[in-house]
Amino acid sequence: MEYGVVLPHNEIGTDPGAMKAFAQGAEALGAKQLLVYDHVVGADPDRPGGFRGAYDKDVAFHEPLTTLAFIAAVTASIELVTSILILPQRQTVLVAKQAAEVAILSNNRLRLGVGTGWNRIEYDALNVPFERRGTRQAEQVELMRELWGEDSLDYSGEFHHIDKASINPRPSEPIPVWFGGAAPTVLKRCAELGDGWVPLMGANSAAAEAINLLKDARAAAGKNWEEFQIQAQAQYAGGTPERWKSHSDKWESLGATKIAIATHNAGETNVDGHLRRIEEYLAVVRKE
């Protein structure tokens, strides 16, 4: 299993030097992938009816694709991962263009993790319908792959129409597309269209059930399971070396191929502190 890191989005700050130091430090420690979360806007809790959610306007998120373009320029080997880009609230052709550029400038190190999101306020702010976002996502993935590979295409779907056009430049290799989420409809879509799955759950019976569903759906679609991968995540906060090791081993036994450590929400620290947390975690879980 490969080990990676999660960008501490709300704690890394806005200093480009800190972002560079974190990315280069993680790569130097041997992290194989760097995951960046995604939210475009945060709701103000002081709004009619209030607001309760996993984040609000006071939680910072760096925009994934532009952030990964910056990180691509200051690193050499680490895989660059959106985890998870809320695809249906974005313009499909523009995402395809931006992703292609990051892939080109990083020598094909981009992996596009996509999801549908849950925050209607965010969709409203971006002037995109919240309803039928899953159906729209499936069409988006299909269209992006055609844009990445075709010099000129005619495309007519439910949500998109392209009349003899495409993007240029295009990546020299296919950009992997992985799906986040665990609802049965999402897992079926992931199995049929995705190169991998990004679970947001523990290594438990629910995860095992989801993986079995993915295997069955892949088989029904005539897809090879051996080519499919799973990206788990771990939390430094509240953990101990014993718990980190047990958690990693459980995910590996379930079939996960990658796991990334999130070091935020574990107490105030700086970039060096986050890197020390990563080093501590990797020293425990890596089999070398």
Q: pLDDT tens, 185-226?
A: 999 999 999 999 999 999 999 999 999 999 999 999 999 999
Domain total for the chain? 1
Domain range for residue 168? 39-59+79-175
In a domain, 146, yes or no: yes
H/E element holding 111? strand 110-115
Residue 207 contacts by C-beta under 8 Å, 6 or more apart in sequence? 199, 201, 251, 254
Residue keyed to tokens 């014993």: 242
What pLDDT digit, counting tens, does each position of 16-31 carry? 999 999 999 999 999 9
Mean of pLDDT over the chain: 97
CATH no. for residue 136? 3.20.20.30
In a domain, 244, yes or no: no
In a domain, 117, yes or no: yes
What pLDDT is stored for residue 50 in this prediction? 87
Q: How many CA atoms lie within 13 A of 223 on its CB side?
A: 20
In a domain, 257, yes or no: no
In a domain, 66, yes or no: no
Task: Tell me the whole-structure pTM to 2 decimals.
Answer: 0.96
Residue keyed to tokens 């009816």: 49
In a domain, 103, yes or no: yes
